[in-house]
Structure 1
Amino acid sequence: MNRDSVDWHGYIPAVTTPFTASGDLDLDAWAVQLDWLAEQRMHGIIVAGTTGEWFSLAEHERAELFTAAAEQVGDRMTVLGGCNAYTAAEAVRHARAAQAAGLHGILLTPPPYVVPAREEIVAFYRDVAEAVDIPLCVYNWPRGTGVDLDTALLTELAALPTVVAVKNSTPDFGGFVKGLIALRDHVRYFGIPTSETGIELLTRIGGDGLMGAGAVLGADHPDFFRALADGDLDRARRLGARDRVLMENWFNADYGARFAGAQAILKYALTLRGVPAGHVRRPLLPLTEDQQARVRATLAQLGLL
């Protein structure tokens, strides 16, 4: 497999997982949220990623989310399954559940908290790639894993048999661009910002899009990339500027949230937009009144209330 084995492109957000106030998985709300994402013309979604609170999901719950997503919108967009885990054996079980559900691929970070060495990272991904024949996106997220996959390591991982894409969420912009140049002809490369810098990268160097979070702006997110594909740079700039408001108001340069848990922020924002994103599950906590006010102020600034 390589980049030509898949058609992944554009805006593919990691989406929230709806829970009830008591912490139960809310599959009815999940179906409504999935339909909204499809109606907003997402190029794809990531199920049970960090935004989807994978860390608090039971194994059977993750499999249920995969199956429901495939059945609800799998014929309308790319659906990837988040398979983050502490061991390759566990990641393989999640990957097999994604494959059985009919998902188009999986997303996988190195084991979080463990801070594995380079050879351990390669072995981890090799174990998964050799066990399950499903397209795999390597996810570099130093904030969550404690390791930053440099270009040499990403190049080694890109040579594994099922790796078709990289989501590079490094705060090292120079490293991001170096990786883009090295890998653009071999795998799909995500992490392009919705800014003038992103426009320059996509039009002059390459890249395939952005695997973002939450899709709070709805169609504005994917339409940034559609505008670029159509050559309408002015429209792309206008849409990208709206996304920059969210990023600057809610997130830091390392993609961590500024004032609360990212999942709680995104769920509250989506709820204000009429999307049944539900509640966060502990250990995460709901927003305080002051934090809710900050979210409402941003949406009001964007004309979304």
Structure 2
Amino acid sequence: MADQNQPPSQEPASTDGGSPHEALFLVLPYLSVLELLNVARVCTSLRRAVEDDDDILPWLNLVVERPLSRRLSDQRLIGISSRGKGRLKSLILVDCINVTDDGLQLVVSNNPLIAKLHVPGCIRLTPDGIIRAVKTLSDDNNDCRLKSLCISNILGINKQHFHTLCSYLQRAHKLGDTATSNIIDVDICPVCDEVSQVYACPQSSERGKCNRKGCKLCIPRCEECGRCADCKEDVELEEATLCSEVLCSECWLHLPKCNHCNQPYCTKHAYRRQQPQGGSGGGTGWLCEACHVKANEVLEHGDDDD
């Protein structure tokens, strides 16, 4: 008679690499590109699940951000984008410093249905490469679906490049001369007459709305709320020393601070926050990059003394 005190026997887990559980397919559309690539490396069955499902949302709306963006090359971009099999709807590359004009053009040529093309901070892209990509997407032979173009921080864009881009978009969408402002994220600054991101101050007061327009170099403004220096009677601007962005005092107070130096990163640079190690900072909160280096040096010297 079997001992009733013994736990019931358990069958050994299957090691034949069978099909993934059906619930996995419900999760895949919510993963980022980096997470999908990591899932595909776990085992053969998961790799098949990721690669064989062409309708996974990230393959049709490709978003590459940090930390993957710094490692993305033309070859890897072409490989990832090909998983959508020509049905790519969004291509968002943030700070992909290794992507070139040739890589972008090949992806655009193979995916004529792209409606959102965002390449901010892709510093190896040139104005001519951007124009060529937009021209391809707005070709008369295609039903142009490009509804959003983000090219901020692309080096060397001048007014001629800007007008050329606008002309392609206007012709493709049959728009008026000033109707591209909702499509492209840059404009000609009314102060310095250069192509840049142009902002309008959202501050309202008893005297009415400010509405002062200009680029950040011409009109300093808070990186978080967008209020400009002309509203200084209502908003006091100061500099967030960790990332050299301008913040108003109200936003500065509400942002999380470094455990050691009590300075914030703006939301745009929050990825630079470092987690404390070895009990530094009490094990909670975060450290800026400089304080993180100093804390590690202190820990290393402490270990040497021991």
Q: TM-score range by the shorter chain?
A: 0.3 to 0.5
Higher relative contact order (CA 8 A, sep 6+): 1
> More helix per residue: 1 or 2?
1
Q: Normalised by the size of structure 1, how large is the TM-score? A: 0.36
